[in-house]
């Protein structure tokens, strides 16, 4: 296994950079695809695909029974990898078949007959996701983030190209479903190609102890991930069932920007931080120090980006997606603030898993789901804006709870945790003030106004960090310089 030479921060930063580059490249392609498709598809067509995708996401979350994350946590061995692959193949194939044949029932759930064929196409993605989970986990376990960075870019390219070709050919909602399925296949194939020399192909050579160890850790993790997915996507289901495909289309598009620019960044950092925390799980001081740095960076980025996106929402939606999506503006404001609130709780689930206590995540997820579902059901009666508001408020409440518990289990004092998130609040206030000041100036057109708000906000954040938090400013610069001086993996 790769050593964490040079310190946790250095390895984490290097991994985050490579995963970040993959994210930027992949999401840039996805964003361009989304912009073009938003001008080709109606809100209702967009909503149909969103309904199918969210249900497929639930299935994909448990398609490997969590054994991929077990590989990151457990000691490295060939028999463990082969056992994980066997579980992943059997369960993934079973779920893919179940999904394909239950497509008519799923369409009936949403009362949208056109969703059925989309679900059947996306069942291919379920199988591909399960097949790609093990090689991806092996790369993450060994901290080979530079090598892994290729896979998401390949997926984004395949998804984008095929979706656009089919959309221009007039295939409507089917274009997005087919592109997504093809992208999942391309991702799995790329991951296997990247580990081809050490691929655990011989799945008949397994051991009961290895299977038991994989499932003992993996099943609770898969359960936690499924609950997290239910929490973060249950709004789509409720909107689709109660308000219909068109409302779901507006809401889904509003979610695209905070998802691409903020939430997916947390996902990338999570894939880096979990294996790092795992490697120092028996070194409490290093774990605490690394966790506080992670909270500080994630909350700083999430809060400032979320507030900035909320400020720019009235300009960005018509400018980027077109006038037909005007009903997505106000939901985007609150969903951007929802993403900002989520950033305050980022990292907690990673540390629970790293110390071998994924059950804490499950408990939190069950409580959150029990609170969120009735709140969203009530909010849906007033439309998608009320749903977005409810999401924001609930995310803030549970972010505080998750960090309180995380601090307790790894013995971090409340003052240390507050100091970690203080820069995020200060910088987000500066962004809001900068945006307000710029909007009070004479209107110069959407592109120029957006550019001026962005530049002013960046300058405000830099000023707050430089003079308000000089130690954090120095640490961030130091990380960048160490990345420049670091040898290639």
- Tens-binned pLDDT, residue by residue, of the chain (489 aa): 344 434 545 555 555 555 555 556 566 666 676 777 777 777 887 787 777 777 777 776 776 666 677 776 677 677 777 887 888 888 888 888 988 998 888 788 767 777 888 888 888 988 898 888 888 888 877 767 677 778 888 888 898 889 888 888 888 778 888 988 999 999 999 988 988 776 676 766 766 777 777 777 777 777 767 777 777 788 988 998 899 888 999 999 999 889 888 887 777 666 666 666 666 667 778 778 878 888 888 899 999 999 999 999 998 888 888 888 899 999 999 999 999 999 888 777 777 777 777 678 778 878 888 999 999 999 999 999 999 999 999 999 999 988 888 888 888 888 888 998 999 999 999 999 988 887 777 777 778 888 888 888 899 988 998 898 888 877 777 666 655 554 444
Whole-prediction pTM: 0.73
Other Cβ atoms less than 10 A from the Cβ of 48: the count is: 29
Contact by Cβ (8 Å): 92, 129: yes
First to last CA, the chain: 13
Q: How far apart are CA 270 and CA 8, in angstroms?
A: 14
Spatial separation of the C-alpha atoms in residues 90 and 450, rounded to whole Å: 50
The per-residue pLDDT for 138 is: 82
Helix axes 208-242, 245-258, angle to 10 degrees: 120
Say which residue the tokens 């795992």 belong to.
278
Tell me the two tokens of residue 105.
């029932």
| Per-residue model confidence (pLDDT) at position 428 | 93
DSSP string, 262-331: IIHHHHHHHHHHHHHHHHTTT-HHHHHHHHHHHHHHHHHHHHHHHHHHHHHHHHHIIIII-GGGGGGHHH
Backbone angles phi, psi at 112, to 5 degrees: -130, 95
Instruction: Identify the residue whose tokens are 């695909």.
Output: 49
Helix (H, G, I), strand (E, B) or coil at 238: helix
* Cα–Cα distance for residue pair 317/34, rounded to 1 Å: 12
Q: CA–CA distance from 144 to each of 15, 50, 297, 348, 486 (Å)?
A: 8, 33, 22, 23, 15
Q: Retrieve residue 419's tokens.
A: 């100091």
Identify the pLDDT of residue 303. 93
For residue 11, the model assigns a pLDDT of 52
Give the Å distances, CA to CA, from 194 to 16, 137, 149, 151, 180: 19, 12, 10, 9, 21
Predicted pLDDT at 64: 64
With beta carbons less than 8 A apart as the criterion, state whether 303 and 280 touch: no
Q: How far is CA 154 from the centre of its chain?
A: 18
Burial degree of 42 (CB within 10 A; 0-12, 13-18, 19+): middle
Q: How far apart are CA 260 and CA 152, in angstroms?
A: 13
Neighbours of 421 (CB within 10 A): 21
**Burial class of residue 377 in the structure, from the number of CB atoms within 10 Å of its CB (0-12 exposed, 13-18 middle, 19+ buried):** middle
Q: Which helix (H) or strand (E) holds 376?
A: helix 359-379
């Amino acid at each position: 296994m790769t050593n964490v030479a040079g310190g946790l921060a250095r390895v984490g930063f290097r991994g985050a950079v490579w995963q970040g580059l993959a994210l930027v490249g992949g999401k840039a392609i996805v964003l361009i695809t989304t912009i073009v498709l938003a001008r080709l598809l109606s809100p209702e067509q967009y909503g149909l695909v969103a309904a199918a995708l969210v249900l497929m996401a639930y299935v994909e979350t448990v398609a490997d029974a969590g054994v991929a994350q077990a590989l990151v946590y457990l000691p490295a061995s060939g028999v463990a990898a082969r056992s994980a692959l066997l579980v992943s193949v059997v369960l993934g194939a079973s779920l893919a078949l179940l999904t394909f044949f239950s497509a008519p029932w799923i369409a009936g759930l949403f009362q949208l007959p056109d969703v059925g064929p989309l679900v059947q196409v996306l069942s291919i993605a379920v199988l591909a996701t399960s097949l790609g989970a093990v090689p991806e986990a092996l790369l993450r376990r060994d901290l080979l983030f530079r090598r892994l960075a290729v896979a998401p870019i390949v997926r984004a390219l395949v998804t984008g190209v095929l979706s656009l070709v089919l959309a221009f050919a007039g295939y409507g909602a089917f274009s997005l479903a087919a592109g997504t399925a093809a992208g999942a296949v391309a991702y799995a194939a790329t991951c296997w190609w990247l580990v081809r020399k050490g691929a655990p192909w011989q799945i008949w050579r397994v051991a009961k102890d290895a299977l038991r160890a994989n499932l003992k850790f993996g099943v609770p993790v898969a359960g936690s991930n499924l609950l997290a997915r239910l929490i973060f996507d249950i709004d789509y289901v409720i909107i689709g069932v109660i308000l219909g495909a068109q409302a779901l289309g507006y809401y889904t598009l509003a979610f695209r920007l905070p998802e691409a620019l903020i939430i997916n960044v947390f996902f990338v950092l999570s894939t880096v931080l979990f294996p790092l925390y795992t490697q120092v799980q028996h070194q409490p001081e290093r774990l605490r120090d690394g966790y506080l740095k992670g909270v500080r960076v994630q909350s700083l980025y999430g809060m400032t980006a979320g507030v900035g996106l909320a400020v720019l929402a009235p300009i960005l939606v018509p400018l980027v997606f077109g006038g037909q999506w005007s009903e997505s503006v106000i939901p985007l404001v609150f969903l951007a603030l929802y993403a900002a609130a989520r950033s305050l709780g980022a990292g907690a689930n990673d540390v629970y898993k790293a110390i071998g206590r994924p059950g804490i995540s499950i408990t939190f997820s069950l409580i959150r789901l029990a609170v969120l579902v009735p709140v969203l059901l009530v909010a849906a009666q007033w439309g998608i804006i009320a749903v977005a508001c409810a999401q924001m408020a609930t995310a803030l409440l549970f972010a505080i709870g998750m960090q309180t518990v995380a601090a307790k289990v790894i013995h971090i004092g409340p003052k240390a945790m507050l100091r970690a998130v203080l820069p995020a609040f200060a910088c987000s206030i500066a962004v809001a003030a900068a945006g307000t000041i710029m909007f009070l100036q004479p209107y110069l057109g959407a592109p120029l106004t957006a550019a001026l708000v962005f530049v002013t906000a960046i300058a405000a954040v830099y000023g707050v960090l430089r003079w308000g938090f000089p130690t954090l400013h120095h640490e961030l610069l130091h990380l960048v310089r160490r990345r420049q001086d670091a040898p290639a993996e």
